[in-house]
Structure 1
């Protein structure tokens, strides 16, 4: 499936799930166009690392199975050095098998057999423009991996750095940086996806047109200073999303030196107090019965725990703790 009739396949490089979700919503992502970075938060230097070196154990949390779940508000996070997995239970064989299928899709994409590509990436680091400095390294990694067979362009999207959704820079001939302005007419309680949907639609439509990539673009290299970090995706409810970095960038450097290059953490930014988000509300017998019945009907602990936490207004930690207490005997 290609974008806007121009022959370029649109592929999500993640950052968060927004780009992939929007491609699906617009009917621009076929089932075979699901790749490893669609559904995870991953540092861009981590993406470069995996592109050049393959998807080894560092892609997942420190093993062996079962992987440890870290709680953050209603979410149960699985965090690797360069990656963060939400909404999915990595301890299920079905989920791991799906990732192997996505790895195989990525290998075929890198071979050039799936045709020319536009990669869509949302910056997740605390200073979103810092990722722009890695675009030349990213291009070198893809060119080396594909042996020059893949015709590709890259769009880096930064959230909420201005009042317009507009292209702000062209760091290389085959890359562009776009600001995505928040959609302000939705309810303040709307999800991040709802607040950014109009912006993503605008960007995807524009970059699907080859005229957007005219060689005479007058845009300069990307700016380095951000205006607004309120929507940065480097953390989940204040918990660093990736074990190797608290800023959303530099995870490969952190792995190399054995500590976070920003804060010095040497324990993969472990959650010090898992009760931080607990409400300490008592559990009624009806609540406990619902808890047991809901968990009994599913094999996906993560999705079930998150759903109950949202419904009950509790933290994932206290939901999972109560479930384990009820079933430990």
Structure 2
């Protein structure tokens, strides 16, 4: 995927944009640290990529203070669980701080093992995740508009590209195609799930792309199949 992404950037910018990539994986090592590099991209196209592991902070659930008046009779309650952003904050801060230094890029690109070498040395596959990116609880990506995420748009209260004022809100099924699920389509989805070591994210991505479906409906179909 990464070489194709780099190639797309080069084609879109006609090769005039110098760039570097940090690829972050979650909880694939015991600490937040760089794992490997993509030396071929650096050698052939001068677009280095460093792969980092981000160790999420998963604090032990703590008890909140009981109500002051004790009217409910409750003595304690579980505190609200931290968000994914909370768990990743320190890790991303470490990565951003390190990779903002040119000297760090040069040293890591020269010293880290190549991706293929690192994967072979692990002797075990990457740990799969079932977490999909969500917006208001819906597995979706709303960054398809050029103006999404712009601080200028945020200041104006409307998107400077398309003019929307709702923050590019999405809803369940917005990108669903409502295509019939044939037996061969279902078999392909389950095969992708098996080939990707039960990684729902990878299976949904591969199937949705191949069958030209929305990720939301593909994910729901997979969940329905797994619950049968």
Q: TM-score, normalised by structure 2?
A: 0.47
- Compare the two structures and name the one with the higher helix fraction: 2
Greater gyration radius: 2
Quick one: higher RCO (CA 8 Å, sep 6+), 1 or 2? Answer: 1
